[in-house]
Amino acid sequence: MLRFYSRPGNKIVFYGMAGYPSSLAELENPPFPLSYSERLPKPGDRIIALAGSRRCDYEGLQGAYHLGKALAEMDFILLVSNSHGFDRWARLGAQSANKRSFVLCDCGLGTKRITTNRSLQGEYLISPFLPYEEASPQTCLSRNVLTAALSTAVIIGQAPKRSGALHVAGCALDLGKDVFVHRSGIGNRPNQEGSLFLHQSGAPIVGGDDPSQPVMV
């Protein structure tokens, strides 16, 4: 650990220290350490969390890209996971607008899952796990709770019935955050069943009839 944090760009903050995000400190069980690169969220940041399936179809990926780009151009900061699919393409959209995203990781920042992912270079990486802790179902669930806590609102893209994105949405609702469903998540295909259910349960749709159209939040 000492070797990891001695390298340039690898930083750590502990619960109770200056700079620790207040939105996490208010949780019932906040993470004690936070590893990060560059910087952590600040109170004035307008953070929108985006979550969706790793197995989006072309419509879903296109919608994620244009959604990320539109939000970045409106000076929102994206908060996404390090997963492939919807989250990655939303982040690529923000990159096309020359904006950085917060990436909340499901593993330690020293694992190959992070260090070999070139698309993460230049982003604001955050992890509540030890540097070399590998991803697991439990770390993914923990990350989802923190995603909801750090965001101002959550937008869900294409998501099947059993999806981590729906867990993010549930955590956000428990915390009193607004939850939306992107237009590309509405349909009858298996990868839209979860997001469609979320909309039918009351989550408003954002985006135009064309899933690539900008979103207004």
Domain ranges of the chain: 2-206
pLDDT at residue 208 greater than cutoff 60: no
Q: What CATH number is given for 2-206 in this structure?
A: 3.40.50.450
- Tell me if 153 sits within 8 A of 51, measured CB to CB: no
Distance between CA atoms of 139 and 48, rounded to whole angstroms? Answer: 21
pLDDT at residue 13 greater than cutoff 90: yes
Quick one: pLDDT at residue 2? 84
pLDDT at residue 212 greater than cutoff 50: no
**pLDDT above 70 covers what percent of the chain?**
95
pTM of the model: 0.92
Q: Which amino acid is at 98?
A: N
Give the CA-trace dihedral at 59, 139, 170, 175, to 10 degrees: -120
Q: Could you report the per-residue pLDDT of 116-138, keeping only the tens digit for each? A: 999 999 999 999 999 999 999 99
- Tell me if 160 sits within 8 A of 193, measured CB to CB: yes
